[in-house]
């Protein structure tokens, strides 16, 4: 009798329990499979060579562990494995509430680690069977040491790894649940966005729905070598290594651009709706006769600004993102000026890898004909993946796929004002992507617009906004509906009038530093990226506060005297060095 009750409880829970996420309802994922008991024994039985003969994706599960239910998380089966030769993957299989869907999350930078908890932990709550791969090699997200003498590694990183681990994950999920997933999805940004586009172009049957945000490597390689950060470092460096255009001048430029072009979308909100329509030129704030001051640009700095806007498509409104990414940070006492880090260096011969890495095929007929749906997203203020290549790809793909109407039947591009790389920035960049793509694929509801939210500082939300459907509205600063290209972003309802933060600048600075460090750490960023993101938060606060350099210096000194984590302490020290430049 106990065994029978156990079977009934498990079956009912699996068939009826659905995530709180506002998505289209689906058929019972385990209909006709009531005799399956998803327990530790069934989970652990997945380990070993059970999938070694999987066609095209010889798989070995190295570890399978059953994780019991807690107050905050449902029970799940946690897997690690690899597809021949070295495509490591991690996977979570929900036990208590599986929604019948399979999700693959992409990685970032050089990948190199199957960070399954970081990628899939929040999706487990929503009932997804979720997988992530290291893309065929072991590395940090910011090194290319794995590239030399590793042609197989480049093949896997370029296109093979995502496909073969996706095939493996589907087979594993089918074996565990006793039936195939009803739908398969992909969701990621940057290198992950590139993974999604490669899947749509080369393996159109893998996924029903793909969300590709800021897909990397869309620019041309071949004989026209890809532009790199080193190019900027070269044209913005004095003989002693100091930047011609320092960080404080980027803040000055940004303020001038926003003043000039904020209203080009019909709304005065500190955001530039379409930077291509902004006619501001740096000569507008050029220094008068008599020399340089903090509030103007020298002739050399004006020239650098023109080069920045012409370099790979940096858009007007993205200037705050130049700091630390394209403009060297001031050295600490005893240091010299250091060149900027450049992930594009050491990735291999561009001519050799062009056909492997670049997701540039505009012919998506196989993906479309298989019923696939694509949501392509690009931030207007992205500093890592510039907007022009993404725009050019979508417009070329639109021509290839028989025009705008036919293309929007399966693929739509969304341009997000003020959005940084992947998320963040000054715009409404927190978006429920999984709700949007699921509604389109399963409910037949084309994604006319993406609803974006800009949260208040310190809001308890992950970097990619997966938890947005659960976030209390008290953390909303403002909202925007981002309409599919060529549509614009418009205010959603009436923006709340936020109470001014009248606290001393030092208190606000301390919060900004700690919040930025926590968000970057929570997103799994390496130390250098966390440091840069924390410094950026300081620059952003100084920009918004309007405080003069004396007030900024005093606030930094006050925060430096408090108890800070090492990265936050270094960020404050480097900002103090920046202001000391005069």
**CB neighbours of 56 closer than 8 A, spacing ≥ 6?**
164, 167
Instruction: For the chain, give the percent of residues with pLDDT over 90.
Output: 66
Element (H, E) at 375: strand 373-379
104-125: b (≥16 Cβ within 10 Å) or e? bbbbbbbbbbbbbebbbbbbbb
Category of 8 on φ-ψ map: left (φ > 0), alpha (ψ -120 to 50) or beta: alpha
Query: What are the E-state strand segments in 38-118?
Result: 59-67, 76-83, 87-94, 101-105
pLDDT beyond 90 at 357: no
Q: What pLDDT does residue 221 have?
A: 40
How far is CA 380 from each of CA 276, 315, 357, 543, rounded to the nearest angstrom? 10, 7, 23, 19
Q: Which of 7-11, 318-322, 481-485, 570-574 has the lowest mean pLDDT?
A: 7-11
- Please give the residue that has the higher pLDDT: either 328 or 169: 169
| Rounded-to-integer distance, Cα 478 and Cα 491, Å | 8
Category of 207 on φ-ψ map: left (φ > 0), alpha (ψ -120 to 50) or beta: beta
| Rounded-to-integer distance, Cα 249 and Cα 242, Å | 13
> 376-404, pLDDT tens digit by residue?
999 999 988 889 999 999 999 999 999 99
Average pLDDT over residues 109-133: 96
Query: What are the E-state strand segments in 205-299?
Result: 209-213
> 238-285, pLDDT tens digit by residue?
999 999 999 989 999 999 999 999 977 777 888 999 999 999 999 999
Torsion from C-alpha of 232, 238, 242, 243, nearest 10 degrees? -40
Note whether 199 and 215 are within 8 A (CB): no
pLDDT beyond 50 at 111: yes
For 441, the token pair is 């694929």
Average pLDDT over residues 38-45: 96
- Please give the residue that has the higher pLDDT: either 287 or 28: 287
Other beta carbons within 10 angstroms of residue 238's beta carbon come to 10
Note whether 380 and 419 are within 8 A (CB): yes
Q: Listing from the earlier edge strand, what are the strands of the sheet with 101-105?
A: 59-67, 76-83, 87-94, 129-133, 101-105, 183-189, 209-213, 373-379, 411-416
pLDDT beyond 80 at 334: yes
pLDDT beyond 90 at 29: no
3-state secondary structure of 374: strand
pLDDT bucket at 122, cuts 50 / 70 / 90? very high
Q: What pLDDT does residue 234 have?
A: 87
Burial class (CB in 10 A: 0-12, 13-18, 19+), 503: exposed
Q: Average pLDDT, whole number, for the chain?
A: 88
pLDDT beyond 50 at 90: yes
> 217-238, pLDDT tens digit by residue?
876 543 445 557 778 888 999 9
- Closest C-alpha among 178, 180, 168, 248 to residue 208: 180
pLDDT bucket at 528, cuts 50 / 70 / 90? confident
Predicted TM-score (pTM) above 0.85:
yes
For 386, the token pair is 């510039």
* 80 strand-pairing partners: 63, 90
- Closest C-alpha among 56, 61, 328, 326 to residue 173: 61
Q: What pLDDT does residue 226 have?
A: 55
| Rounded-to-integer distance, Cα 277 and Cα 270, Å | 15
**CB neighbours of 510 closer than 8 A, spacing ≥ 6?**
559, 562
Note whether 187 and 119 are within 8 A (CB): no
Q: What pLDDT does residue 217 have?
A: 81
Note whether 517 and 524 are within 8 A (CB): no
**CB neighbours of 98 closer than 8 A, spacing ≥ 6?**
14, 29, 30, 127, 129, 177
- Scanning 247-325, the segments in alpha helix (DSSP H) are 247-261, 299-310
- Please give the residue that has the higher pLDDT: either 20 or 56: 56
Average pLDDT over residues 135-160: 93
> 432-477, pLDDT tens digit by residue?
999 999 999 999 999 999 999 999 888 999 989 999 999 999 999 9
3-state secondary structure of 67: strand
> 188-209, pLDDT tens digit by residue?
999 999 999 999 999 999 999 9
Note whether 287 and 300 are within 8 A (CB): no
Number of H helices, E strands in the chain: 18, 13
| Rounded-to-integer distance, Cα 529 and Cα 117, Å | 20
- Please give the residue that has the higher pLDDT: either 36 or 135: 135
Q: What pLDDT does residue 294 have?
A: 78
Q: What pLDDT does residue 25 have?
A: 46
Q: At what angle do helices 527-545 and 566-579 cross, to 10 degrees?
A: 50
| Rounded-to-integer distance, Cα 78 and Cα 220, Å | 40
> What phi, psi does 416 have (nearest 5°)?
-110, 110
pLDDT beyond 50 at 15: no
How far is CA 43 from each of CA 25, 37, 38, 93, 286, rounded to the nearest angstrom? 27, 10, 7, 9, 67
pLDDT bucket at 1, cuts 50 / 70 / 90? very low
Note whether 326 and 308 are within 8 A (CB): yes
pLDDT beyond 50 at 517: yes
How far is CA 186 from each of CA 53, 393, 509, rounded to the nearest angstrom? 25, 19, 37
Q: What pLDDT does residue 496 have?
A: 65
- Closest C-alpha among 375, 434, 430 to residue 124: 434
Q: What pLDDT does residue 203 have?
A: 98
> 62-87, pLDDT tens digit by residue?
999 999 999 999 999 999 999 999 99
Average pLDDT over residues 510-531: 86
């Amino acid at each position: 009798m106990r065994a029978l009750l156990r079977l009934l409880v498990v079956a009912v829970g699996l068939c009826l329990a659905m995530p709180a996420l506002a998505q289209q309802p689906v058929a019972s994922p385990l209909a006709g499979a009531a005799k399956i008991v998803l327990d530790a024994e069934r989970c652990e039985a997945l380990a070993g060579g059970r999938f070694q003969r999987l066609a095209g994706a010889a798989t070995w599960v190295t570890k399978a562990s059953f994780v019991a239910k807690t107050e905050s998380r449902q029970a799940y089966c946690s897997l690690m494995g690899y597809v021949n030769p070295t495509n490591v993957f991690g996977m979570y299989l929900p036990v208590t509430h599986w929604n019948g869907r399979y999700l693959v999350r992409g990685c970032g930078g050089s990948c190199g680690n199957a960070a399954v908890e970081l990628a899939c932990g929040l999706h487990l709550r929503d009932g997804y069977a979720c997988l992530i791969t290291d893309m065929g090699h072991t590395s940090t997200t910011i090194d290319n040491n794995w590239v030399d003498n590793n042609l197989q590694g480049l093949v896997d990183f370029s296109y093979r790894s995502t496909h073969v681990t996706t095939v493996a994950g589907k087979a594993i999920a089918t074996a565990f649940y006793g039936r195939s997933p009803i739908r398969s999805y992909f969701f990621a940004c940057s290198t992950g966005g590139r993974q999604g586009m490669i899947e749509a172009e080369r393996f159109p049957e893998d996924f029903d729905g793909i969300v590709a945000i800021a897909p990397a490597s869309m620019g041309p390689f071949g004989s026209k070598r890809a532009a790199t950060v080193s190019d900027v470092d070269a044209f913005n460096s004095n003989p002693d290594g100091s930047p011609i255009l320092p960080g404080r001048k980027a803040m000055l430029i940004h303020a001038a651009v926003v003043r000039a072009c904020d209203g080009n979308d019909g709304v005065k909100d500190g955001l530039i709706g379409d930077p291509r329509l902004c006619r501001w030129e740096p000569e507008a704030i050029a220094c008068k006769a008599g020399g340089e001051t903090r509030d103007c640009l020298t002739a050399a700095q004006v020239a650098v600004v023109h080069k920045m806007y012409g370099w790979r498509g940096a858009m007007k409104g993205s200037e705050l993102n130049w700091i630390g990414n394209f403009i060297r940070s001031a050295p600490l006492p005893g240091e010299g000026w250091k060149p900027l880090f450049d992930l594009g260096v050491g990735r291999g011969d561009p001519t050799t890898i062009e056909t492997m890495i670049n997701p540039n095929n505009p012919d998506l007929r196989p993906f479309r004909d298989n019923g696939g749906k694509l949501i392509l997203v690009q931030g207007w203020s992205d500093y890592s993946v510039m907007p022009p290549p993404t725009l050019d790809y979508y417009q070329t793909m639109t021509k290839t796929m028989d025009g705008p109407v036919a293309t929007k039947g399966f693929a739509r591009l969304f341009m997000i004002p003020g959005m940084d790389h992947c998320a963040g920035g000054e715009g409404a960049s927190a978006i429920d992507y999984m709700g949007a793509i699921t509604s389109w694929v399963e409910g037949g509801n084309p994604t006319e617009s993406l609803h974006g939210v800009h949260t208040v500082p310190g809001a308890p939300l992950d970097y990619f906004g997966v938890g947005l459907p659960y976030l209390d509205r008290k953390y909303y600063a403002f909202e925007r509906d981002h309409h599919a290209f060529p549509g614009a972003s418009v205010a959603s309802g009436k923006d709340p009038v936020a109470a001014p933060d009248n606290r001393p600048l030092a208190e606000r600075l301390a919060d900004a530093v700690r919040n930025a460090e926590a968000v970057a750490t929570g997103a799994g960023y390496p130390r250098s990226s966390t440091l840069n993101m924390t410094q950026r938060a300081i620059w952003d606060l100084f920009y918004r506060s309007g405080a003069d350099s004396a007030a900024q210096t005093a606030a930094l000194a006050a925060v430096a005297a408090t108890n800070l984590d090492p990265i936050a302490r270094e960020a404050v020290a480097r900002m103090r060095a920046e202001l000391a430049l005069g």
